[in-house]
Amino acid sequence: MMVESASETIRSAPAGQNGGVGSLSGQADGGSGSGTAGTAPAAGRDGSSRDTASGADSNGEMSSTELLQFQQQQALQVARQFLLQQASSLNSPGNNDSKQSASAVQVPVSVAMMPQQILTPQQMQQILSPPQLQALLQQQQALMLQQLQEYYKKQQEQLHLQILTQQQAGKQQPKEALGNKQLAFQQQLLQMQQLQQQHLLNLQRQGLVNLQPSQASGPLQALPQAAVCPTDLPQLWKGEGAPGQPAEDSVRQEGLDLASTAATATSFASPPKVSPPLSHHPLPNGQPTVLTSRRDSSSHEETPSSHPLYGHGECKWPGCETLCEDLGQFIKHLNTEHALDDRSTAQCRVQMQVVQQLEIQLAKESERLQAMMAHLHMRPSEPKPFSQPVTVSADPFPDGLVHPPTSAAAPVTPLRPPGLGSASLHSGGPARRRSSDKFCSPISSELAQNHEFYKNADVRPPFTYASLIRQAILETPDRQLTLNEIYNWFTRMFAYFRRNTATWKNAVRHNLSLHKCFVRVENVKGAVWTVDEREYQKRRPPKMTGSPTLVKNMISGLSYGALNASYQAALAESSFPLLSSPGMLNPGSASSLLPLSQDDMGAPGEPLPSNGSSSPPRLSPPQYSHQVQVKEEPAEAEEDRRPGPPLGAPNPSTVGPPEDRDLEEDLPGEDMS
């Protein structure tokens, strides 16, 4: 069974090229880690700080302490206003209210949803009952809330500290001329960046450290990949003038013009009023940190006299890591190396955007989750923690490093993608009876909807090899792929195949050879595989008419209760709109997926809609013949396949659907073979 695994693994390594995939690896756990870092109820603090800030505005003379507080508050306020401004400016174009609810946010929702879906098989196996599902949802929610709260807290605390330090140093700095307000804001920006980076680093670090077998998949998939990938941050922070850094470039160009920054922000939501914390994980330190001077509460393990940017004897400024013997030295370093300049500001902006993204996503997802839970009559509370503190963790797949969970032993689990309503994955055994696309939603749409999911979750896709291969081929411009390219597609599109390399390649080859729908064409460069759509459609007469069976599969196959069935159905309909916005996709995936929609639309071969509610596009094979009329010939005759009339116009009927066109293209190839 696993004989090949060794060599396969090695060979598939190159496939890693696809790998941009896991840019977010290792963050998931970070979420948990940071979450447990003991943060204070940010939400509450948040509100208070804002209020007090406004009140402080009227102050004329104040003590140094008051001044500090005032500045801090102001900074926060300014920052918030800025954020709001961004939100409105971003949304206004589309006349969306600054209210900025989920719909308006340009956030890769699908990605955002990940945390809710990415679970290790083992974990998912525990979620076979409604109560467990509920628990999972709650946990996920709690996690997100925690993250958000932590961000707030950190921002506030660090802002405070930063102000203090800057204040001290500011006396000797020329930039003092900037004025308190601006300085405060600058500091705020700096802090935000620092915080964000620290957080991300922390997440990543933990993600690597906490890679426990049962927590391979990651929640932080929720991070805005489309916007600023955590992995990109270091570059952004460091490589100031690095070309090819749009965000940064814009940042630099904009200089300190805050208003213009809005343009760079990919999205933003109103000051995330941290969703009314259904906090299952009540944050430990509930102190009103904001106004109190230094008090290291958050994840900073430093002593009271420490600085959030200073830890373990080194500067924690993004990409700095300069060693500083003591706090004093550090502060000096901070003021000299990370002074208020364009660079720092730019970094800050980047950081800010990241924070915004996260906040938006968090708020959005929280909102969604609540709505979902409400719909499902689930109570948003009830922590009901799982055995594992954090069921979701980063998905380290990309690098193919630690992928403990789904082992060959338990390669397949009930874990299902959000949008997938199909499939009959039986918990037992390696996905036997993988729903062929004929029984569930169209693979293309399904794939499109859950692209990110499959890409990051080590879940076996509920499609047959044949359908997957076909999809891979059809996604390419010329509808043809070499075997290796098919391999790459598999690994690129599915985390599962990045990990479980033992048999699938063999299976792919087997399928290519076995199914007549796959035609090997001798190409200049070698042999490529194409899809004979007609044959593919013939493969199996659509016995089932969709919904009934599908539903049955969904429920029985998964042992899910009605609740889960409906839940999944709901997910299938609502989640992962990512494909609707190609821009949110990773370059690679985006391009590869583009054809999908097309495929969905015109693909005659596409199976019945998963929901089955809609009228079956294809009632019977015959109906398809119109497209492929060319081949009435027995499925067997290989030669017959060669379009007799075909050559010139292989598929006379190829008028409509894109695929028909493709078919035409393929046919010539057949001749070649």
Partner DNA sequence: TCTGGGATAAACAGTG
Partner DNA sequence: ACACTGTTTATCCCAG
Rule CB under 7 A: say whether 539 interacts with DNA.
Answer: yes
Helix (H, G, I), strand (E, B) or coil at 311: strand
The beta strand positions in 426-554, using DSSP E, are 518-522, 527-531
Give 10 or 242: the residue with its C-beta nearer to DNA: 10
Helix (H, G, I), strand (E, B) or coil at 19: helix
Q: Which of 198, 202, 553, 568 binds DNA (CB under 7 A)?
A: 553
The stretch near DNA (CB under 7 A) out of 6-14, 78-86, 300-308, 320-328 is: 6-14
The stretch near DNA (CB under 7 A) out of 217-225, 241-249, 348-356, 536-544 is: 536-544
Distances (CA, A) of 255 to 213, 258, 339: 45, 8, 15
Rule CB under 7 A: say whether 527 interacts with DNA.
Answer: yes
Helix (H, G, I), strand (E, B) or coil at 519: strand
Rule CB under 7 A: say whether 464 interacts with DNA.
Answer: yes
Give 171 or 543: the residue with its C-beta nearer to DNA: 543
CB 116 within 8 A of CB 220: no
According to DSSP, residue 103 is labeled G
Give 330 or 487: the residue with its C-beta nearer to DNA: 487
Tokens of 218: 């990651």
Q: Which of 544, 571, 578, 630 binds DNA (CB under 7 A)?
A: 544
- Mark 299-308 as b/e (b = at least 16 C-beta within 10 Å): bbebeeebbb
Cβ neighbours, 10 Å, residue 510:
13
Helix (H, G, I), strand (E, B) or coil at 59: coil
Rounded-to-integer distance, Cα 130 and Cα 569, Å = 14
Give 205 or 433: the residue with its C-beta nearer to DNA: 433
Give 190 or 608: the residue with its C-beta nearer to DNA: 608
Rounded-to-integer distance, Cα 95 and Cα 110, Å = 23
Assign residue 4 a region (left: φ > 0; alpha: ψ between -120 and 50; beta: otherwise). Answer: alpha
- Mark 7-46 with x for binding to DNA (rule: CB under 7 A) and - for no binding: x--xx-----------------------------------
Q: Which of 513, 580, 615, 620 binds DNA (CB under 7 A)?
A: 513
The stretch near DNA (CB under 7 A) out of 92-100, 122-130, 294-302, 547-555 is: 547-555
Assign residue 612 a region (left: φ > 0; alpha: ψ between -120 and 50; beta: otherwise). Answer: left
According to DSSP, residue 323 is labeled B
Give 394 or 468: the residue with its C-beta nearer to DNA: 468
Give 178 or 483: the residue with its C-beta nearer to DNA: 483
- Mark 400-439 with x for binding to DNA (rule: CB under 7 A) and - for no binding: -----------x------------x-x-xxxxxxx-x-x-
Rule CB under 7 A: say whether 520 interacts with DNA.
Answer: yes
Rule CB under 7 A: say whether 512 interacts with DNA.
Answer: yes
What does DSSP say about strands 527-531 and 314-315: parallel, antiparallel, or unpaired? unpaired
Size of the site for DNA (CB under 7 A): 52
Tokens of 660: 């028909």
Shortest distance (Å) from residue 486 CB to DNA: 8
Q: Which of 540, 570, 616, 629 binds DNA (CB under 7 A)?
A: 540
Rule CB under 7 A: say whether 529 interacts with DNA.
Answer: yes
Q: Which of 151, 453, 465, 497 binds DNA (CB under 7 A)?
A: 465
Q: Which of 223, 390, 502, 596 binds DNA (CB under 7 A)?
A: 502
Shortest distance (Å) from residue 552 CB to DNA: 6
Rule CB under 7 A: say whether 454 interacts with DNA.
Answer: no
Give 87 or 521: the residue with its C-beta nearer to DNA: 521
C-alpha of 149 from chain center: 20
Shortest distance (Å) from residue 513 CB to DNA: 3
Radius of gyration of the chain (CA): 27
Give 441 or 464: the residue with its C-beta nearer to DNA: 464
Q: Which of 17, 54, 484, 559 binds DNA (CB under 7 A)?
A: 484
Q: Which of 256, 410, 483, 551 binds DNA (CB under 7 A)?
A: 483
The stretch near DNA (CB under 7 A) out of 97-105, 135-143, 338-346, 476-484 is: 476-484
Dihedral (C-alpha) 39, 44, 45, 46: value to the nearest 10 degrees?
A: 110
According to DSSP, residue 276 is labeled -
CB 196 within 8 A of CB 354: yes
Name the burial class of residue 370, with classes exposed (0-12), middle (13-18) and buried (19+) by CB atoms within 10 angstroms of its CB.
middle
Shortest distance (Å) from residue 122 CB to DNA: 18
Rounded-to-integer distance, Cα 197 and Cα 647, Å = 59
Residues in the chain: 673
Rule CB under 7 A: say whether 507 interacts with DNA.
Answer: yes
Distances (CA, A) of 538 to 21, 535, 617, 628, 650: 34, 5, 15, 10, 17
Q: Which of 510, 559, 573, 656 binds DNA (CB under 7 A)?
A: 510
Rounded-to-integer distance, Cα 80 and Cα 120, Å = 37
The stretch near DNA (CB under 7 A) out of 34-42, 267-275, 336-344, 464-472 is: 464-472
Closest to 282 measured CA to CA, from 142, 104, 412:
142
3-class SS letters over 162-228 = HHHHHHHHHCCCHHHHHCHHHHHHHHHHHHHHHHHHHHHHHHHHHHHHCCCHHHCCCHHHHCCCCCC
Q: Which of 397, 453, 463, 489 binds DNA (CB under 7 A)?
A: 463
Rule CB under 7 A: say whether 514 interacts with DNA.
Answer: yes
Q: Which of 70, 152, 237, 487 binds DNA (CB under 7 A)?
A: 487
Give 346 or 508: the residue with its C-beta nearer to DNA: 508
The contact set with DNA (CB under 7 A) reads 1-3, 7, 10-11, 411, 424, 426, 428-434, 436, 438, 463-466, 482-484, 487, 502-507, 509-515, 520, 526-527, 529, 539-540, 543-544, 549, 552-553, 556-557
